[in-house]
Amino acid sequence: MAVVFKNPVIRWIDHRLPVFTYLQHEANDYPTPKNLSYWWNFGSIAGFMLVVMIATGIFLAMQYTPHVDLAFNSVERIMRDVNYGWLLRYIHMNGASMFFIAVYIHIFRGIYYGSYKAPRELLWIIGVAILLLMMATAFMGYVLPWGQMSFWGATVITNLFSAFPVVGSKIVTLLWGGFAVDNPTLNRFYALHYLLPFVILGVVVIHVLALHRFGSNNPTGIDMKGPQDSIPFHPYYTVKDLYGLGVFMLFYAFWVFYAPVALGDPDNFIPANPLSTPPEIVPEWYFLPYYAILRSIPNKLVGVLAMFSSIMVLFILPWLDRSPVRSGTFRPAFKRFFWTLVFVCAILMFCGKYPPANYWLPLEFTVVTPDSLQAAAHLQSADDLWAISFAGGHFGIQIITLGQIAAIYYFAFFLVILPLLSIFERTLPLPLSISQSVLPKGGGAVPSAAAAKPMEKA
């Protein structure tokens, strides 16, 4: 549908470089399913966060000094002396958390609604690549203030690579540029931390290109059949995205202005000291689940492999779940396992936070009596991995055990449950089309015999 622009300058440019026609097509002509829910807002929110992080990052970079003797104080100078420096810094550090919140919700949305299934497998894989790049960027960014947690987090995570046989310690030395995390490490992390967001930007463009090839998925998982199922992206989803962005920014503003360091670690306000390790080394909250998986396995190499596998398994998700039904809306068994997965990830986050060995979480199912409390107090000295004991109505479980159970479920969900569900799950009958599904009565259901046909597989 050719559009003639009124403005002659725009026409002149567009004739030579058709950006305006392209934007017009993407915004106005691009058919979007008309039933997208608010779970679909998080893609644009994540894109917005990327822009915010790059903008604040560039202006912070104007004031930051990447040298071990000067970095910490340069950050404090930003907080105290640079005009609005405190605001830029708080926006940037809380922005990382907000970015991960948006992306994690975006990912879980994709899993629930089967957005990774054909023909969107590559779109999904590109998305996982973005996640990996984000994790690398965030990890290196956290090192830059050169606080205690910056230094020791870097030390612990880079040391992981020594788990690999033969080449492990050589890799670590290469990463460090020396014999420990020191100035060379800080400098290269700074260079890469500045670079990677632009790489992410490029991959996001490819991600959107891949998306626009087949268009968005939708809550029913049923493809658009025609114009009756779609609406133009502008103004419907532009205004909905802006509204959702407003709500998200209110949430973001709460953290920035009223709890700016709550998501971080107070130990990072102590300058890095290579000779003194803090009592607990804890990564930022968005890394806690992977940290829990790492620590749940006593063997160093297997723990590292398990941690990497937890992301790698996402890459092959399109081939693990072969159910012909796309959306979780019509897959009741899948739904239960999915929500359990969400809960398990929260458990993993919890387990990643606390030291695994001497900690136990008391789960109380009965009324506490003074006697049972007394008995429970004695349990704290038990060191066995499988310390599950009854003491006057108390049921206690070691954090490390909890983490192991959660990690097992995490891998089982992808590697065992999804493939089995593909074969054995009884799905609900699918509506005929999107338009029908948004009708008040829910539309006429297709008889189950027809549902057995893989009608939604491309």
Beta carbons within 8 Å of 123's beta carbon, 6+ residues apart: 115, 116, 207, 210, 211, 213
Residue 212 near residue 128, CB atoms below 8 Å: no
Q: What's the CA gap between 205 and 305, in Å, rounded?
A: 30
Work out whether 256 is an interface residue with another protein (CB under 8 A).
yes
Q: What's the CA gap between 107 and 121, in Å, rounded?
A: 13
Choosing from 215, 260, 419, 429, the residue that interacts with another protein (CB under 8 A) is 260
223, 229, 241, 321: the active-site residue: 241
Stretch that binds another protein, among 125-133, 195-203, 238-246, 319-327 (CB under 8 A): 238-246
Question: Residue 83 corresponds to which tokens in the numbers above?
Answer: 């005009």
Work out whether 370 is an interface residue with another protein (CB under 8 A).
no
Question: Residue 320 corresponds to which tokens in the numbers above?
Answer: 């693990």
The minimum distance between CB 135 and another protein, in angstroms, equals: 19
Choosing from 353, 387, 391, 443, the residue that interacts with another protein (CB under 8 A) is 353
Footprint (CB under 8 A) of another protein, residues 25-54: 34
Q: Using CB under 8 A as the criterion, what x/- string covers residues 196-235 for binding another protein?
A: -----------------------------------x---x
Q: CB 252: neighbour CB atoms within 10 A?
A: 22
In the complex with another protein, the residue whose CB is nearer, 354 or 409, is 354
- The torsion angle over the Cα atoms of residues 248, 108, 399 and 412, rounded to 10 degrees, is 180
What are the φ and ψ backbone dihedral angles of 31, each rounded to 5 degrees?
-80, 125
Residue 414 near residue 403, CB atoms below 8 Å: no
Q: What's the CA gap between 316 and 313, in Å, rounded?
A: 6
Q: CB 66: neighbour CB atoms within 10 A?
A: 19
The minimum distance between CB 166 and another protein, in angstroms, equals: 38
Q: What's the CA gap between 176 and 188, in Å, rounded?
A: 9
240 is a catalytic site residue: yes
Work out whether 21 is an interface residue with another protein (CB under 8 A).
no
User: Can you tell me whether residue 361 is helix, strand or coil?
Assistant: strand
25, 212, 335, 353: the active-site residue: 212
In the complex with another protein, the residue whose CB is nearer, 85 or 114, is 85
280 is a catalytic site residue: no
The minimum distance between CB 17 and another protein, in angstroms, equals: 26
Choosing from 201, 270, 301, 382, the residue that interacts with another protein (CB under 8 A) is 270
DSSP bridge partners of 147: 271
Work out whether 79 is an interface residue with another protein (CB under 8 A).
yes
User: Which of 142, 154, 116 shows the shortest CA–CA distance to 281?
Assistant: 154
DSSP bridge partners of 389: 396
DSSP bridge partners of 396: 362, 389
Q: CB-side exposure of 23: number of CA atoms within 13 Å?
A: 7
The minimum distance between CB 262 and another protein, in angstroms, equals: 5
Q: Using CB under 8 A as the criterion, what x/- string covers residues 372-411 for binding another protein?
A: ----------------------------------------
The minimum distance between CB 263 and another protein, in angstroms, equals: 9
Choosing from 64, 90, 290, 409, the residue that interacts with another protein (CB under 8 A) is 90
Q: What's the CA gap between 172 and 178, in Å, rounded?
A: 9
216 is a catalytic site residue: yes
Question: Residue 106 corresponds to which tokens in the numbers above?
Answer: 């975006």
Q: Using CB under 8 A as the criterion, what x/- string covers residues 307-346 for binding another protein?
A: -------------------------x--xx--xx-xx--x
Q: What's the CA gap between 17 and 168, in Å, rounded?
A: 50
Q: CB 453: neighbour CB atoms within 10 A?
A: 11
Work out whether 246 is an interface residue with another protein (CB under 8 A).
yes
Footprint (CB under 8 A) of another protein, residues 56-75: 56, 59, 62-63, 73
Choosing from 243, 319, 386, 390, the residue that interacts with another protein (CB under 8 A) is 243
User: Which of 316, 303, 334, 283 shows the shortest CA–CA distance to 404?
Assistant: 303
Largest CA distance in the chain: 86
Stretch that binds another protein, among 78-86, 129-137, 171-179, 291-299 (CB under 8 A): 78-86
The minimum distance between CB 329 and another protein, in angstroms, equals: 10
User: Can you tell me whether residue 396 is helix, strand or coil?
Assistant: strand
Active site residues: 212, 216, 240-241, 284
Binding site for another protein (CB under 8 A): 34, 55-56, 59, 62-63, 73, 76-77, 79-88, 90, 231, 235-236, 239-240, 242-243, 246-247, 249-250, 253-254, 256-262, 266-267, 269-270, 279, 285, 288, 332, 335-336, 339-340, 342-343, 346-347, 349-350, 353-354
